[in-house]
Amino acid sequence: MPTGEQINVIPVYYFFVLLVLLVAGPFLLFLKKARSGLSQKFGVIPKEIVLDQDNLKNGIWVHSVSVGEFSAVRPLLEKLNEGYPDIPILVSTTTLTGQTLAKERVGRFARVFYFPFDLPFATGRWLDTLKPALVVIAETELWPGFLSECKKRGIKTVCVNGRMSPKSFKSYERYKLFFGRALRNYSRLGVQSENEAIRYRAVGGSQLPVTITGNMKLDGLGTESGAVVEFLRQEMNVAPGDFVIVAGSTHEGEERAVIESHKGLLRTYKESIASGKPQARPRLIVAPRHPERFEKVVDLVNASGFKAKRFSKKERFSDDSDDIYVLDGLGQLAKYYSLATIAFVGGTIKPVGGHNLLEPYAYSVPTCCGQHVHKTRDIANALTELGALIMVKDAEELAKRMHEFYLDREPARALGEKGRQWINQNQGAVDRTLTLLLDVLATTNGAREIKSIRTNKLPASENSYQRNVATHG
């Protein structure tokens, strides 16, 4: 009787993927967000890539689904290009926002395109055209068909910055006969933490080639220079003493929560002026997570009794306090955290699972969030254990904590410093991940400059992750 490893369930998987596309296809055509890159997703290769395929072969294909994943791998892409400029770099994304950001940030040295649907006629055409030496997939993406097609062609595959949320883990473990086999198609897996390694091995087996490399998002947390921050402050008309809340990656309902909190701070501010003992002027910057909600958030601000000032119109705060700034632009949020006194990270009051909790701490900015942080659980846990993360139950508690920190900034400042110190102590994941990739690349038949790849590996950083790599690699 054949074992689970011998039974080929990929054809059944392909049937279900095709069925879903047939049902969803008509709806995709009517949604601009889903329609973008649709031909490439079905395996239609752009003419310019076909004409240049000889120059692109034997490259490294890096896939990141959207903005968050691309932001994590961007430092890795830049180091690859800097250290090995002769190796072609290919970057795919799934979403329009990810595609836009990738072209803007790495388009000067990488070929950027949409990742195909996980069907053999689509993935096969891309693989046969590009002929990559190595395929790299970021974070949570697991495409069983694509990994199977890579293995058929002898193409090595590596997972980087790997994470498996508790919710995903439950599903993968329940069907580990299928997903475990998919994971075993990876040549190597570089994961963010020991907890992630445990989850991956619980699904893929104890022999799964997992290495703990750390979280590359910690390395990608570059900061703007003091001169740039000061220019931005003047451009925005924000005084050094202002109490600035930056609400980043917000979802439906969360904008209303921070606006209500801002209203409370304004009441206190106006009372302090009337009493002759003025407090700091409150300012609020809101950055919605999804571009399609920009207009809706602008309407909400205006309907709440404020005047919306917009990044897209190059506007700035007025001298009074009755306006709220809407950051309606892609890839801008990290820079604006430099102006913050305190930050709120969205997707956490609304049960989305949370977004990047680390970006504010790059500027020592203390951060508030809701309790729904399952997508970034390890980082949330680490910051909570440090006493650096302010977690609230709901909008009312958010307003209360903001008011406390408005009246006394010192406790918040101390939390921000703790977070920044933790980041400094745990950076180095990009170098470790690059070493992992070069190790695998050196074993491929099509790799270029194999000798230099083998002899010029980057040293691992001396921190706690190095011990984990030695233990679990």
Active site residues: 69
Cα pseudo-dihedral 247, 105, 374, 390, rounded to 10:
-30
- 3 state DSSP class of 442: coil
First CA to last CA across the chain, in angstroms?
34
Helix, strand and coil content of the chain, in percent to the nearest 5, comes to 50, 15, 35
Buried-state track 229-261, b at ≥16 Cβ within 10 A, e below 16: eeeebeebbbeeebbbbbbbbbbbebbbbbbeb
443 forms beta bridges with none
List strand residue ranges (DSSP E) for 115-242, in order: 134-138, 156-162, 188-191, 210-212
Contact 447, 236 (CB under 8 A): no
What is the rounded distance in angstroms from the CA atom of residue 409 to the CA atom of residue 366?
Answer: 10
Count Cα atoms within 13 angstroms, Cβ side, for 181: 16
Sheet holding 342-345, edge to edge: 307-310, 323-326, 282-288, 243-250, 342-345, 367-369, 389-391
Residue 48: which residues within 8 A CB-CB, separation 6 or more? none
Count Cα atoms within 13 angstroms, Cβ side, for 335: 17
Token pair, residue 305, equals 């009794």
Give how far Cα 421 sits from Cα of 215, 273, 358, 466, Å: 15, 37, 12, 18
- 3 state DSSP class of 447: coil
What is the rounded distance in angstroms from the CA atom of residue 326 to the CA atom of residue 287?
Answer: 6
Helix 294-303 to helix 254-274 angle, to the nearest 10 degrees?
A: 40
